[in-house]
Amino acid sequence: MLLGIIRERDAERTRVARLLHDEIGQVLSAAGLHLDALRLDVQDRAPEIVGRTWEIQNILEGAVQQVRRLSYELCPEPLEHAGLGVGLRHLAGRRRQSFPGQLTAECPDSLDLPPAVSLALFRIAEQALDNAVQHSGATRIRLVLRAGRRRTTLEIRDNGHGFDAERMRRRPRGLGLPLMESYAQGAGLTFEIASAPGQDTIVRITKDRAPGA
Ligand SMILES: Nc1ncnc2c1ncn2[C@@H]1O[C@H](COP(=O)(O)OP(=O)(O)OP(=O)(O)O)[C@@H](O)[C@H]1O
Ligand SMILES: [Mg+2]
């Protein structure tokens, strides 16, 4: 059932991301063009207004950036265009802004993974990084993606205070861990989480290459 919810949620995210990017983004751009025209109109007759139009233009520019950021959060475009490595580095960059410690991401640029696997790895990394940032009290978070000939491994490790992962799996408290398991299951990935009070937390997802693939 969770998988159905995930699919619906992803479809909805994509729809909202497009709407934000295409429609709202265009309205804001159109308003910017009108301001350009207004500035040309009034620059001789009322030069004091020109400064005001620049102020409004700056506010509009801020809104355009915010729409871009939001639409990216909802639907990580670079995954399709630039690939998983770039997408994960962007993600780490965004999470770094809300993490006072050291957050590093090591990922190769080019990876030959099916789109469904890339998306699942990306969505799991989002949840794992969120958890490490919000709950671990860590000073260091490392995300490492390794692509070998036989297997691809994604690891998110933090040096925080850890938690009883087994108990949490039996009795989930939030949505993050069940979501990670469902993403993994849906894309044929192995999901493991190793943690205990007082220990590092390691989330590891592996994808074995099918023989002959
Ligand atoms: N890296 C971590 N370090 C310490 N505790 C963690 C870590 N990851 C998860 N936990 C613990 O496991 C609990 C469940 O995590 P989960 O992601 O399922 O839910 P949540 O983060 O509380 O809520 P949600 O993900 O729905 O916003 C967390 O509340 C936290 O107590
Ligand atoms: Mg969580």
Ligand 1 center–CA 168 separation, angstroms: 9
Instruction: Report the alpha-carbon distance of residue 97 to residue 139 in Å, rounded.
Output: 14
Q: Tens of pLDDT along 162-190? A: 999 999 988 888 888 988 998 899 899 99
Indicate the helix (H) or strand (E) that contains 201: strand 201-208
Q: Of 74, 107, 132, which one is at a domain's C-terminal end?
A: 74
Using the mean position of ligand 2's atoms as its centre, give its distance from the Cα of residue 177 in Å. 7
Q: Is the predicted pLDDT of residue 70 greater than 90, yes or no?
A: no
Q: Does residue 88 contact residue 106 with C-beta atoms inside 8 Å?
A: no
Domain finish residue from 24, 58, 74 = 74
- Say what the pLDDT of residue 201 is: 98
Could you tell which of 99, 103, 124, 131 is best to mutate to test the pocket of ligand 1, judged by most ligand atoms within 8 Å of the CB?
131
What distance in Å separates the CA atoms of residue 10 and residue 26, rounded to the nearest whole number?
23
Instruction: Give me ligand 2 centre to Cα 134, in Å.
Output: 8
How many angstroms is it from 127 CA to the middle of ligand 1? 9
Please give the tally of structural domains in the chain. Answer: 2
Q: What secondary structure letter does DSSP report for 211?
A: T
pTM greater than the 0.95 cutoff: no
Q: Which residue has tokens 């990670």?
A: 180
The per-residue pLDDT for 31 is: 92
Report the alpha-carbon distance of residue 83 to residue 97 in Å, rounded: 22
Decide: helix, strand or coil at residue 209.
Answer: coil
Report the pLDDT value the prediction gives residue 81, as an integer from 0 to 100. 64
Which amino acid, residue 142?
R
What is the residue with the minimal CA distance to atom 20 of ligand 1?
A: 174
Within its chain, how far is the Cα of 166 from the centroid?
26
**Domain match, 68 and 107 both:** no
Q: Phi then psi for 82, rounded to 5 degrees?
A: -105, -15
Q: What is the C-alpha separation between 128 and 68, in angstroms, rounded?
A: 24
pLDDT at residue 206, rounded to an integer: 97
Give strand pairing partners of 103: 141
Q: Are residues 100 and 165 in the same domain?
A: yes
> Is residue 66 in some structural domain?
yes
CA dist 147 and 84 (Å) reads: 11
Domain boundary among 74, 104, 119: 74
Residue 47's domain spans which residues? 2-74
**Which residue's CA is the nearest one to ligand 1's atom 12?**
168
List, as one string, the DSSP characters of 69-106: HHHHHHS-THHHHT-HHHHHHHHHHHHHTT-SSEEEEE
Q: Do 37 and 122 sit in the same domain of this protein?
A: no
Q: Pick the more confident residue, 26 or 69.
A: 26
Residue 158 predicted with pLDDT over 90: yes
Residues with CB under 5 A from ligand 2 (ion): 131, 174, 176
In the three-class reduction of DSSP (H, G, I as helix; E, B as strand; rest coil), residue 144 is classed as strand
Would the pLDDT of 100 be above 90?
A: yes
What per-residue confidence (pLDDT) applies to 2? 65
Which of the ligands is closest to the CA of residue 181?
Answer: 1
How does pLDDT run across 138-154, given as a tens digit for each residue?
Answer: 999 999 999 888 899 99
